[in-house]
Amino acid sequence: MDIPSTPDQIAALITSLGEQILAQCAVIATAEAQLAHLYADAARVSDITALTTMPAGTSPERARSLARLSLQLELSAMTRIPERTVQRRINESEVLVSQLPDTLAALATGMISAGHARVIVDQLADVDPADRAEFETRILPIAKTHTAAQLQHTARKLREQLHPTTIAARHHRAKHERHVTLTPAADGMSWLSILTTAPIATAAYNRLQALTAGAKHRGDARTRAQLMTDNAQSLLLFGITASSGAPVPMAPTDPVTTAPAVTDTDDEIPIWAATTTPPARTTPPITATPPTTTSPPRAAEHEVPTAPPVNPPELAPLPTIEEITEGIVPTVHLTVPVLTLLGERNDPGSLEGYGPIDPETAARLTVNAKSFTRILTHPESGAVLSVGRDRYTPPGDLARALAIRDTHCRAPGCNRLAKGCDLDHTIPWSAGGETSAENLAHLCPKHHHVKHDTNWTLAPAPNGTLHWTSPSGETFTTEPDPPDWYPLAPLPPPPRTTDTAHTGP
């Protein structure tokens, strides 16, 4: 592409590029509408044929539920789209096709984007069926002239006008959906997300801002983003920000007008549990003096709670991220490459529930570990790999080794951690299957049901590889991570050492 030199030429080129982008957006929107029809058709076929594809004697309701689970798993495996995303797309598509014909038509012609359509579908869920046609008629013209973010604000207000249930009742229901999720990020980092009520989230965010302001007032060199993160970590792990171990009083809070963005994740994993102790500090302890005023009355349900003021210079120095890490007392499942263990290489270890971590972080974690299971990624004798047909329940060392081999559910695309899964006999015990590493694999409860209660079939292969075959005949293969895994029995912790390349406590 030739870069123009005059203002008129530049303006003309920008206009041309914008028109081409707009045309491609319309093509994408049209494809999204076609996908909606396909997702809805797949769900309809699944529901209609559920009784004929499920084992005899299955109730109609359970047959439909199992057929949907089977469909979602197969579409996820075929498209490599997370199963939860497939489930959401099916639900949205059914609403678009059956209840929002004009919205679907606008999407098909490129008048709105898939993001606009998703906002309308989401807000429609709480509108009385008798009012849904009016909702679509009033909101669709706005969707054609506003961004999806602007549309969400307007659609939420319109929903409130048409909604038969009060916002207080819906908020009471929504409170039961609060949860915490942990999502891995790149370079040894992770996202920790909390879904809670707006007043609590705003008050917590404001407290972090106030604690950060106090630290900056004292001359802390960390950025505000780093200080807010370190304050949150220290409060969650130790309940303090002071080196003395005394709780720090809450700083004043001011309502904020814009809440921080919330990221919708498709694949989530539960929090890795660990016990903590306050990190040791070399600086003299500074006690945060609580205010002498009486406690304020309890905040009303929808008020943003405030807190007693505290003088920022009285706050103790905030632990660094290294000190916070050293305060964690974990039970570690750490996979260590054999050459790293022998000191010949510096390859990363692998932490259960996350993945690769640098040797220095591994050393910081394991120095305080009361115990850990060490698995060398190299064949070596000594492990109990099979008890054949002697017993159904796997022995403890085999179960622990398999949890580290699999790391997560072995169904295609599933990220559920092994610790939340069932250890399943791939060839059923009742059919002569053995209790061995070759015939055992972790399946989450949902996919355990899919394997046993639908027409999916599963065949084991060497080194823990599994071959899945769907009811329609599609085949998918899942392998351990890493695929050349070979288990060892848990080893006793080695003597303590000051060598940071060594991964023992």
Rounded CA separation 496/503 (Å): 10
Q: Which of 500, 488, 495, 481 is nearest to 373 (CA)?
A: 488
SS3 324: helix
14 has pLDDT over 90: yes
Rounded CA separation 189/193 (Å): 13
Residues 418-467 pLDDT 10s: 888 999 999 998 888 888 888 999 999 999 999 999 999 999 988 889 99
pLDDT of residue 261: 33
Amino acid residing at 374: R
Q: What angle do CA 177, 74, 47 make, to 5 degrees?
A: 75
Q: Which of 94, 92, 107 is nearest to 31 (CA)?
A: 107
| DSSP code of residue 408 | B
pLDDT of residue 344: 58
Answer whether 411's CB lies under 8 Å from 74's CB. no
Which distant-in-sequence residues (6+ apart) come within 8 Å of 24 by Cβ?
Answer: none
pLDDT of residue 30: 97
156 or 113, higher pLDDT: 113
Mean pLDDT of the chain: 75
Rounded CA separation 370/328 (Å): 11
Task: Tell how far CA 484 is from the center of its chain.
Answer: 27
Structure tokens at 266: 């498709």
Tell me the pLDDT band of 175, cut-offs 50, 70 and 90: confident
Pairing of strands 332-336, 372-376: parallel
Residue with tokens 């203002």: 7
472 has pLDDT over 50: yes
pLDDT of residue 487: 46
- Mean pLDDT, residues 294-303 taken together: 38
Range of lowest pLDDT (230-239, 347-356, 403-412, 455-464):
347-356
Q: Which of 409, 408, 410, 412 is nearest to 476 (CA)?
A: 412
Task: Tell how far CA 462 is from the center of its chain.
Answer: 31
pLDDT of residue 349: 61
| DSSP states of 86-106 | HHHHHHHHHHHHHH-HHHHHH
Does this model's pTM top 0.75? no
pLDDT of residue 186: 81
204 or 134, higher pLDDT: 134
Q: Which of 165, 104, 90, 109 is nearest to 136 (CA)?
A: 104
Residues 368-399 pLDDT 10s: 565 554 443 333 433 445 555 667 788 887 88
Rounded CA separation 367/400 (Å): 21
402 has pLDDT over 50: yes
Residues 123-138 pLDDT 10s: 998 788 888 999 999 9
Alpha helix segments (H runs only) across 176-283:
198-217, 224-238
| DSSP code of residue 434 | -
pLDDT of residue 297: 38
Structure tokens at 382: 């000594």
104-128 as b/e, with b when 16 or more CB fall inside 10 Å? Answer: bebbbebbbbbebbbbbbebbeebe
Phi/psi at 315 (nearest 5 deg)? -70, 140
Q: What angle do CA 270, 272, 277 make, to 5 degrees?
A: 140
Residue with tokens 């807010």: 228
- Mean pLDDT, residues 246-250 taken together: 42
